[in-house]
A and B are shown apart, each in its own frame.
Chain A
Amino acid sequence: MSADAAPAPVGGTEPLFELPPELEIETDVARRVIGEFIRGQLRQAGFERAVVALSGGIDSGLVAYLVAEAIGPERLLCLLMPYRTSSPASRADAEEVVRRLGCASEVIEITPMVDGFFGTDDVPGAGGPDASHASALRRGNFAARMRMAVLYDRSVTWSGLAVGTGNKTESLIGYTTLFGDSACAFNPIGDLYKSQIRQLAVAVGVPEAILRKAPSADLWPGQTDEAEAGISYPVLDRLLYWRVDKRRSPDELAAMGFDPALVERVDRMVAGSEFKRQVPPVAKLGPRTAGLDYLYPRRRPGSARA
């Protein structure tokens, strides 16, 4: 794991990525905080090991590196869970992370689970005859939830907590599958924008092939985040940073040079996905209700696994 903090080109002259100056972080500080966070979450829960769903992308790659750095690679299990249409390059990139870290890994194909529900051209699935016409979105969400189910099963067999790999950008715009890729015991990178994820990934030494490729949910061949959202990450990250973290109004953002139509669209994405970032509401009936007037830390004396 190298400590090269700058997003400098590694070999070539092409910069690895664009880092908006206001989003630049001190990666040493971030690694220190995240390391303490990972160790603290595990200790408070009574666990010594962790399991990460490794897609071959930058977010889960970074999390694997950070977990290995925090608790040692021997306590980390990486799960590779390809579907039959998943990009072979993603699998190769995930395998490279496992090889470099020297951690345990397991490949679990989710194809039979997904196809078992939606069916194939020849065999109807458990989801009924209509399921074979399901949209890419339905299939993508289902696949994400199958991966979640496997992740939590392996959390038991590995005796490790499931570590989240979602970033702040996708969480804020709601580019996540509820109870799918966003499901986790704790998330060490959920307050970092994609641009900051890239900066930190360089610092911890995530393989360059992963740093260079276009971010993709890989729910269907050729899909990329930026094409699907119609915004580049540096612009989206800056917009979200000023709007959310720095509380700037749409008028102020327009004065800064952001396209007002884009600001409005992103505002709608953020407001429309509020439900994905919160615990579902419980109808208030009794004297004390979790989340309302029953307020305890998640981990307190007695809550660690014995």
Chain B
Amino acid sequence: MQTLRVALVQLAPRLGDLEVNLARHHELLEEARGAGADLVVFPELGLTGYQLQDLAGDVAMRLDEPRLARLAGETRGLSAVVSFVEESADHRLFIAAALLEDGEVRHVHRKVHLPTYGLFDERRFFAAGDVLRTVPSRLGMGVGLAVCEDFFHLSVPHILALDGAHLLINVSSSPGRDLAATHEVGLGTATSWWTLIRTYAQLTTCFVVFCNRVGIDESIAFWGGSEVVAPTGETLLRAPLYDEGVFTVDISPEDVRRERIAVPLLRDERPELQLRELERIVAERAGLGHDTTAEPGAEPGLDVAPESPPHEPIGFRAAGR
């Protein structure tokens, strides 16, 4: 039975210090290789730290950056996922995760959902990616990459799975918060993430890898707790909270086939139905379509009307009403 060894690197990057973090990535990649890893996953912005603010431009790398090529050069015979600030040719800055394989940058995912609420301010400093793609990997599995908040949107794991993923990889810098004894390990963030990871594994029948950083940026403590969950929803690895380290587990890619035959959820997905309904909903939310199930006076995109509908300024009236 063929197995693959996955290594999760719970790293505490040095904020804004690309050189130190690059050196650390080289070291830890070698450590993981020494532990027999086929896939080594580093956390979101592991090469730069998270709370960058105006430092984002200073630590950004183009995809032809020699230092990135040197790091990729260390991946002969294995796969790695690393994350950094990517600068595009037109000088937009993205939070990127790259799949490095056999010495090359094989694929780059630009974070699609940038949280800008609560303690997050990503839209201020970064551009949002526009592409979700699953790519083939030397592991013999389709790989779908996502970054942190991307997984707080159902559509991301869903689309990546439909696009051919066997393995979903989420790299994160998740700030630990909501300390309360009522939560599973006393930390609301951990419960919330582990619930999502397990749910996505079951619903997409993919392996799901979650690699979360540790350490401190400013006020924020990142909580680690990285996971590997099987397509059945079984947790194969749960790394400790707050500890830096390399944590490994073996997975059997065959489990994807077994689970998809036993529980053919992906077979039974109806993307064409979703597409049809989504087109309708998009039109209605834009006020360009008539919602046949909406109460009179309901605002575009809603079915329920307020008790006393507000006056609708010109331009807000749905077509056909």
Which A residues lie at the B interface, using CB under 8 A? 22-26, 28-30, 32-33, 36-37, 40-41, 44, 294-301
Contact = CB atoms under 8 A, between A and B. Distances in A.
Interface stretch (B50-58, B246-254, B289-297, B305-313): B50-58
Contacts of A301: 14, 16-17
B185 interface: yes
B186 interface: yes
A297 B216 contact: no
Contacts of A300: 15-16, 55
A26 B186 contact: yes
B275 interface: no
A36 B215 contact: yes
A141 B90 CA distance: 55
Nearest to B16: A300
B181 interface: yes
B187 interface: yes
Nearest to B125: A295
Given A29-B185, A33-B221, A36-B221, A294 B179 contact: no
A295 B217 CA distance: 14
Contact of A297 (B181, B218, B241): B218
Interface in B162-184: 176, 179-183
Contacts of B242: 32-33, 36
Nearest to B14: A301
A296 B218 CA distance: 10
A241 to B, nearest CB: 10
Contact of B216 (A25, A26, A29, A41): A41
A28 B240 CA distance: 13
Contacts of B221: 33, 36-37
Contact of B241 (A32, A44, A298): A32
Interface residues of B, number: 27
Nearest to B214: A36
Given A25-B181, A29-B179, A299-B218, 10 more contacts: A24-B181, A26-B179, A26-B186, A29-B186, A36-B214, A36-B215, A37-B221, A40-B215, A295-B54, A297-B217
Contact of B218 (A23, A25, A33, A298): A298
B16 A24 contact: no
A20 B217 CA distance: 31
B103 to A, nearest CB: 29
Contacts of B216: 36-37, 40-41, 44
A22 B216 CA distance: 26
Nearest to B49: A297
8 contacts: A25-B180, A26-B180, A29-B187, A36-B214, A295-B53, A295-B54, A296-B54, A301-B16
A183 B297 CA distance: 55
B180 A297 contact: no
Nearest to B180: A25
Interface string B200-216: 00000000000000111
Contacts of A30: 179, 186
Contacts of B52: 297
A33 B185 CA distance: 13
Contacts of B14: 301
A25 B181 CA distance: 4
A180 B305 CA distance: 54
A296 B180 contact: no
Interface in B1-29: 14-17
A81 B221 CA distance: 32
A300 B58 CA distance: 12
Given A295-B53, A297-B15, A26 B181 contact: yes
B55 A297 contact: yes
Interface string B152-164: 0000000000000
A188 to B, nearest CB: 11
Contacts of B179: 25-26, 29-30, 33
B48 to A, nearest CB: 11
B308 to A, nearest CB: 20
Contacts of A37: 216, 219, 221
A291 to B, nearest CB: 11
Nearest to B216: A40
B22 to A, nearest CB: 13
B53 A22 contact: no
Contact of A22 (B54, B180, B185): B180
A37 B218 CA distance: 8
A29 B53 contact: no
Contacts of B180: 22-26
Contacts of B15: 44, 297, 299-300
A238 to B, nearest CB: 13
A30 B186 CA distance: 9
Contacts of A24: 180-182
Sort A-B residue pairs by CB-CB distance and give the 9 closest, nearest first: A26-B186, A40-B216, A24-B181, A29-B186, A295-B53, A300-B16, A33-B221, A25-B179, A301-B17
B89 to A, nearest CB: 25
A146 to B, nearest CB: 29
Contacts of A296: 53-55
Contacts of B219: 37
